[in-house]
Amino acid sequence: MDARVLQRICRWDGWIARPTSSPDQITQDLKEIDVELTRQKTSRHEKGFTVAHENFVWLTEKPRHDDAIAEQQAKMLAVVSDERPWDYIEAVYLTGTIDEVQKRVQARIEVGVEHLFLHTMTADLAQLDLFAKHLLEPFKNVVSAAAAAG
Protein backbone atom coordinates (compact mmCIF):
# COMPACT_ATOMS: atom_id res chain seq x y z
CA MET A 1 0.00 0.00 0.00
CA ASP A 2 1.29 3.45 -0.82
CA ALA A 3 2.57 5.18 2.33
CA ARG A 4 0.38 8.25 1.73
CA VAL A 5 -2.73 6.09 1.41
CA LEU A 6 -1.81 4.22 4.58
CA GLN A 7 -1.33 7.51 6.47
CA ARG A 8 -4.70 8.78 5.25
CA ILE A 9 -6.46 5.56 6.33
CA CYS A 10 -4.85 5.61 9.77
CA ARG A 11 -5.79 9.24 10.35
CA TRP A 12 -9.45 8.27 10.61
CA ASP A 13 -11.56 5.79 12.58
CA GLY A 14 -12.40 3.42 9.77
CA TRP A 15 -11.64 2.13 6.31
CA ILE A 16 -13.69 0.85 3.38
CA ALA A 17 -11.83 -1.87 1.49
CA ARG A 18 -12.23 -1.42 -2.25
CA PRO A 19 -14.65 -3.71 -4.12
CA THR A 20 -11.83 -5.48 -5.90
CA SER A 21 -10.23 -6.59 -2.62
CA SER A 22 -10.24 -10.31 -1.97
CA PRO A 23 -10.28 -11.52 1.64
CA ASP A 24 -6.53 -12.18 1.34
CA GLN A 25 -5.93 -8.62 0.18
CA ILE A 26 -8.08 -7.23 2.99
CA THR A 27 -6.03 -9.29 5.46
CA GLN A 28 -2.77 -7.94 4.01
CA ASP A 29 -4.04 -4.35 4.08
CA LEU A 30 -5.20 -4.74 7.68
CA LYS A 31 -1.75 -6.01 8.66
CA GLU A 32 -0.22 -2.87 7.18
CA ILE A 33 -2.81 -0.71 8.94
CA ASP A 34 -2.09 -2.47 12.24
CA VAL A 35 1.67 -1.94 11.85
CA GLU A 36 1.17 1.75 11.13
CA LEU A 37 -1.23 2.21 14.02
CA THR A 38 1.24 0.47 16.33
CA ARG A 39 3.92 2.86 15.08
CA GLN A 40 1.55 5.68 16.02
CA LYS A 41 1.19 4.09 19.48
CA THR A 42 -2.46 3.17 19.04
CA SER A 43 -4.54 0.30 17.62
CA ARG A 44 -7.74 -0.32 15.74
CA HIS A 45 -9.38 -1.27 19.03
CA GLU A 46 -8.22 1.90 20.82
CA LYS A 47 -9.41 4.08 17.94
CA GLY A 48 -12.73 2.27 17.58
CA PHE A 49 -11.60 1.64 14.00
CA THR A 50 -14.31 0.16 11.77
CA VAL A 51 -13.56 -2.09 8.80
CA ALA A 52 -16.04 -2.04 5.94
CA HIS A 53 -16.05 -3.52 2.46
CA GLU A 54 -17.90 -2.46 -0.66
CA ASN A 55 -18.88 -4.96 -3.33
CA PHE A 56 -21.27 -5.69 -6.18
CA VAL A 57 -23.62 -8.63 -6.50
CA TRP A 58 -26.51 -9.91 -8.58
CA LEU A 59 -28.37 -12.55 -6.61
CA THR A 60 -30.19 -15.38 -8.29
CA GLU A 61 -31.95 -18.33 -6.72
CA LYS A 62 -30.90 -20.66 -9.53
CA PRO A 63 -29.41 -23.65 -7.70
CA ARG A 64 -26.88 -24.74 -10.35
CA HIS A 65 -23.60 -22.82 -10.46
CA ASP A 66 -23.51 -22.59 -14.25
CA ASP A 67 -27.09 -21.26 -14.42
CA ALA A 68 -26.42 -18.70 -11.69
CA ILE A 69 -23.25 -17.54 -13.44
CA ALA A 70 -25.02 -17.24 -16.80
CA GLU A 71 -27.65 -14.95 -15.27
CA GLN A 72 -25.03 -12.93 -13.40
CA GLN A 73 -22.90 -12.53 -16.52
CA ALA A 74 -25.85 -11.12 -18.44
CA LYS A 75 -26.66 -8.61 -15.68
CA MET A 76 -23.14 -7.67 -14.65
CA LEU A 77 -21.58 -7.40 -18.10
CA ALA A 78 -24.35 -4.99 -19.08
CA VAL A 79 -23.06 -2.62 -16.39
CA VAL A 80 -19.35 -3.32 -15.91
CA SER A 81 -16.79 -2.05 -18.40
CA ASP A 82 -16.01 -4.49 -21.20
CA GLU A 83 -12.34 -3.91 -20.41
CA ARG A 84 -12.79 -6.27 -17.46
CA PRO A 85 -13.00 -9.93 -18.47
CA TRP A 86 -15.46 -12.22 -16.73
CA ASP A 87 -12.75 -14.16 -14.86
CA TYR A 88 -11.68 -10.87 -13.24
CA ILE A 89 -15.28 -9.96 -12.35
CA GLU A 90 -15.85 -13.41 -10.90
CA ALA A 91 -12.65 -13.18 -8.85
CA VAL A 92 -13.42 -9.85 -7.18
CA TYR A 93 -17.20 -9.47 -7.03
CA LEU A 94 -19.74 -11.70 -5.30
CA THR A 95 -20.86 -14.26 -7.86
CA GLY A 96 -22.22 -17.80 -7.89
CA THR A 97 -25.15 -19.52 -6.28
CA ILE A 98 -26.70 -18.20 -3.07
CA ASP A 99 -24.55 -20.63 -1.05
CA GLU A 100 -21.41 -19.52 -2.88
CA VAL A 101 -22.17 -15.83 -2.39
CA GLN A 102 -22.87 -16.44 1.30
CA LYS A 103 -19.51 -18.23 1.65
CA ARG A 104 -17.78 -15.27 0.00
CA VAL A 105 -19.51 -12.88 2.39
CA GLN A 106 -18.53 -15.10 5.34
CA ALA A 107 -14.90 -15.12 4.18
CA ARG A 108 -14.86 -11.32 4.34
CA ILE A 109 -16.40 -11.36 7.82
CA GLU A 110 -13.78 -13.86 8.99
CA VAL A 111 -10.92 -11.54 7.99
CA GLY A 112 -12.41 -8.65 9.96
CA VAL A 113 -14.99 -6.91 7.79
CA GLU A 114 -17.67 -5.50 10.08
CA HIS A 115 -19.92 -3.74 7.56
CA LEU A 116 -20.72 -4.56 3.95
CA PHE A 117 -21.95 -2.06 1.38
CA LEU A 118 -23.50 -4.19 -1.33
CA HIS A 119 -24.57 -2.70 -4.63
CA THR A 120 -27.21 -4.14 -6.90
CA MET A 121 -26.38 -4.18 -10.59
CA THR A 122 -29.71 -2.67 -11.65
CA ALA A 123 -32.65 -0.83 -10.11
CA ASP A 124 -34.61 -4.10 -9.92
CA LEU A 125 -36.44 -4.00 -6.57
CA ALA A 126 -36.67 -7.79 -6.52
CA GLN A 127 -32.92 -7.78 -5.87
CA LEU A 128 -33.53 -5.99 -2.58
CA ASP A 129 -35.93 -8.76 -1.57
CA LEU A 130 -33.26 -11.34 -2.40
CA PHE A 131 -30.64 -9.34 -0.46
CA ALA A 132 -32.95 -9.32 2.57
CA LYS A 133 -33.75 -13.02 2.32
CA HIS A 134 -30.30 -14.41 1.52
CA LEU A 135 -27.88 -11.88 3.02
CA LEU A 136 -29.47 -9.67 5.65
CA GLU A 137 -31.48 -12.38 7.38
CA PRO A 138 -28.79 -15.11 7.53
CA PHE A 139 -26.07 -12.66 8.63
CA LYS A 140 -28.08 -10.42 10.95
CA ASN A 141 -26.48 -11.77 14.14
CA VAL A 142 -23.01 -12.45 12.77
CA VAL A 143 -20.15 -10.61 14.43
CA SER A 144 -16.82 -10.19 12.67
CA ALA A 145 -13.67 -11.65 14.20
CA ALA A 146 -12.38 -8.12 14.88
CA ALA A 147 -15.57 -7.06 16.65
CA ALA A 148 -15.64 -10.25 18.72
CA ALA A 149 -12.01 -9.75 19.78
CA GLY A 150 -12.52 -6.07 20.69
Bridge partner residues of 55 (DSSP): 118
Which contiguous run of DSSP H or E holds residue 14? Answer: strand 14-17
Strand locations in 70-149 (E): 115-119
pTM of structure: 0.90
The rounded distance, in Å, linking the Cα atoms of 1 and 46 is 22
For the chain, what is the mean pLDDT? 93
State the pLDDT confidence band at 80, using cuts at 50, 70 and 90.
Answer: confident
Mean pLDDT of 47-72: 97
Report pLDDT for 81: 79
Residues 67, 73, 77, CA angle at the centre, nearest 5°? 170
Bridge partner residues of 53 (DSSP): 17, 116
Mean pLDDT of 42-69: 97
